[in-house]
Structure 1
């Protein structure tokens, strides 16, 4: 299918997403069918481009079905099991990986068991946890030292698994050397076993949601004997990004970044865990997909689990989290006159500060339900408004992409002269707000109850 105009395909996918009415298409299956029919009716696409767009759409749909374990099942022609994916069979992939268990070992039974467990729960060909031999890594260079670990850059020879070959019934790698990050864990001899807990967090959480930096597996430094996480390489953290680009960021981009962070934190909390070390240095940017991902899950865990960081403290053995507070009857902030200041200080205001810290959270109990309801209602109204505005922006952005493409065939021809590696880790992402299908695994609830639907995703 040569001659496919990649930018036009992405623009059409964007439009099919932006035109959707979430009140009608309120689950993943309805969304898929709407987008598929919209693409088939899109006159801006050639037949080959329609096929390519629907293929990308179907990849994302397959990933979501397997992740959520929902949708129409089919009988796999090879293993005869009922599988959800159409472009691969999740059971065939897992069975294939099981046959390879005897071909590798980390030298540590706990690590072997952990990786094998992850492989038997594999969702798709590109999200497989592996034991990666150290000799499969080259050009290893020290990058930086964090608070608890050292970080290195490296090249991974041969890359990760990429596709499932139905004909030969095997997984196939990309064949390209890929840039990775190596994060050195605590010394394996350390009695507190924190290094293993961090490995569990990364290996079991990161590959199930695209909001996390993807972890490919574990390796071990043969000299120092430390285990190292092998992770996808990002280009910059949020703090540095804002420092370098704050003068040129549009509101659309700013809100997009905020939305990415909101969804990531929501997905963490939905798993009944908290990050415990989230800051702008742990929010990383992917250079190809133009997406933001959460990293450093070393302290991630259940909310009722004691933190490992010594500088974290709990008051009265309680864990405090952020709440939405509502302060009422305050005047509009401005430079006040003396009369206005006197009026302000003489007027009763609707808040209460308890004398005893143990009573904190018990105040205003009688108003909690009604206040929460009011906040929730206002929040949902704002969601609908923001959703409408985002859709308008998305349609305009998609149409602009298409129109600019049509107006400048010369530039497009020059683009075609460049080599595009379709197997690269972030694939083709010409539209910065429409990321590649490998990053489309966000678990966002259907309907309008959650702030900012996945406006810039296929689904």
Structure 2
């Protein structure tokens, strides 16, 4: 067997998926057929590489069929049930997992019940959450302090389930695999917020491929802390934009924006709400969708917003209150610009809800699929420059903090004249009142509730989006920080 060039296979699959015209291939079955035919016709891949690429398409197709309960069914030769998957039988996989319940336990009945429930709803071999004994994790190292918890890296000795062996009727593991561990806080707390956080991670990522994989839970044998075991991603969106921005066309930017928004839409459909959305940690939240607008702007420009300001300084608070927003990149297509501006409107009633946002971004994405790249190739680097640009890769920009600012004026939308005046000068011209310290209790004080300034946006966009714009009426499960959206 010849060596498989996995980077080429991955790049080819991504290219084929990206080139799929959703206006022509209108459902998952038509898209699968088109992509498979395109792979088979590819002249760069060897036959073995084509088989590898098609296997990936088959896995995704099987997963989507089971998730949506749609497609042609077949009779499983083992259990004789009508199943949708072709590489495996979803019923056989679940039966195998159920038979194994007696062989493991976390020591906590609630956790056992949660994991067992997730396993009985598994869509395929590569999407199974499980209890992972801490002894199966090697080389555990502290990585960083996240917005609300400590993050570690580790090697999972056996790795996750990868495929179903139809002959042996058992699941096969990948082998040693690098993972991220996210410590759950306050496990002794009576309110069990830690358990709700774990439940959010497991149930959402169990269903949606656009959410970065959550493999399951483990428990530090020394501290007793429970930890979420997650897939280690290569880079976040901010880093991806830094590395690839000069090669991105508008069509590719629209794809990124659409896939993020679409993933958030599905999260909302699951009646769960994200708590922390920013380009270093793609997450979503309740109360307003200005955070999405800022992500859209960052995707269009390749920069972080207001990078001349320190995080959460009072100058930044006041210019946002006064309606100042990042400068629109020259050449930004009108539909994208309008949607972005609606999302960061100072009046929440003028902002689209997540359902409308998803629908309109999908329309923009699909309409530009048939337009040649060269007509909309980004010229941003040639005619757009952030004044006094600083290095925005600092880790401080990737951490969420909550601050309370009191007695702030009502937010407003800036006029075109005000916006032009701001963007035509250096960012240090804003006049801040002498008594600005009265607005802030402390620049280092964390609070439990999002303050009024959060309804605008903050550098890390730690804000909350509610399609009904009435956060006090929301009872859905909140997804805390750390649930990543997988858009690539």
* TM band (smaller chain): 0.5 to 0.7
- Equivalences for 1:172-251 in 2 at 5 Å? 172-176=172-176, 178-239=177-238, 245=243, 248=246, 250-251=248-249
| Residue 387 of structure 1 pairs with residue 369 of structure 2 | yes
Contact 2:258 2:362 in 1 (8 A): no
Distance in 2 separating the partners of 1:386 and 1:166 = 43
Per the TM alignment, residue 7 of structure 1 is displaced from its structure 2 partner at its CA by 6.3
Equivalence for 1:279: 278
Give the structure 1 partner of residue 94 of structure 2: 94
Alignment deviations for residues 387-430 of structure 1 (CA, whole Å, 9 cap, x no partner): 223x758xx9xxxxxxxxxxxxxxxxxxxxxxxxxxxxxxxxxx
Check 1:155–1:188 CA distance in 2 against 1; reply closer, same or farther (3 A cut). same
Aligned to 2:401: none
230-239 vs 213-222, which moves further: 230-239
Q: Deviations over 1:249-286 (max 9, x none)?
A: 64456555434422322332333433132123313xxx
Q: TM-score, normalised by structure 2?
A: 0.57
Residue of structure 2 in register with 1:145 after alignment: 145
Structure 1 residues 38, 156: closer, same or farther in 2, change over 3 A? closer
Aligned partners of 2:182 and 2:227 also within 8 Å: yes
CA 1:170–1:278: 2 relative to 1, 3 Å: same
1:45 is displaced (CA, Å) by 5.5
Specify whether residues 125 and 210 from structure 1 end up closer, same or farther in structure 2 by C-alpha distance, changes over 3 A only: same
Counterpart CA distance in 2 for 1:380 and 1:148 is 32
> Is 1:123 the equivalent of 2:105?
no
Q: Which position in structure 2 is the counterpart of 1:421? A: none
The residue that corresponds to 1:170 in the other structure is 170
Aligned to 1:55, what secondary structure does the other structure show?
helix
Alpha-carbon RMSD across the aligned residues, in angstroms, is 3.7
Q: Which residue of 1 aligns with 2:260?
A: 261
Residues 40 and 171 of structure 1: is their aligned pair in 2 closer, same or farther, counting only changes over 3 Å? same
The change in CA–CA distance for 1:155 and 1:388 in structure 2 (over 3 A counts) is same
1:306-362 Cα deviation digits (max 9, x unpaired): xxxxxxxxxxxxx555699xxxxxxxxxxxxxxxxxxxxxxxxxxxxxxxx9xx85x
Gapped regions of structure 1 (runs ≥ 5)? 284-293, 304-318, 325-356, 397-455
Count of residue pairs the alignment pairs up: 320
The whole-number CA distance in structure 1 between the counterparts of 2:145 and 2:363 is: 45
Deviation at 1:12, TM superposition (A): 5.8
Cα pair 1:162 1:174 within 8 Å, conserved: yes
Q: CA deviation at 1:140?
A: 1.2
In structure 2, the gaps of 5 or more residues are: 294-346, 378-486
- Structure 1: how far apart are the matches of 2:15 and 2:237? 28
In the TM superposition, what is the alpha-carbon distance from 1:170 to its structure 2 partner? 0.5
1:59 Cα deviation (Å)? 1.9
Q: For 1:413-449, what per-residue CA distance to the aligned partner results, in whole angstroms no more than 9, with x for missing partners?
A: xxxxxxxxxxxxxxxxxxxxxxxxxxxxxxxxxxxxx
Shift of 1:17: 4.5
Distance 1:52 1:379 in 2: 32
Indicate the residue corresponding to 1:400 in structure 2: none
8 Å contact kept, 1:18–1:392: no
* Shift in Å, 1:98: 0.6
> What secondary structure sits across from 1:282 in the alignment?
coil
Map of 1:211-360 to 2, 5 A cutoff? 211-239=210-238, 245=243, 248=246, 250-251=248-249, 254-283=253-282, 294=283
User: 2:80 matched to 1:80?
Assistant: yes
Q: Distance in 1 between matches of 2:238 and 2:358?
A: 31
Structure 2 equivalent of residue 416 of structure 1: none
Report how far residue 163 of structure 1 moved: 1.1
Partner Cα distance (2:103, 2:56) in 1 = 33
1:21 shift after superposition: 4.5
Q: Which has the larger radius of gyration?
A: 1
d(CA) in 2 for partners of 1:28, 1:170: 28
2:116 counterpart SS class: helix
**Counterpart position of 2:160:** 160
CA distance 1:141–1:26, change in 2 (3 Å): same
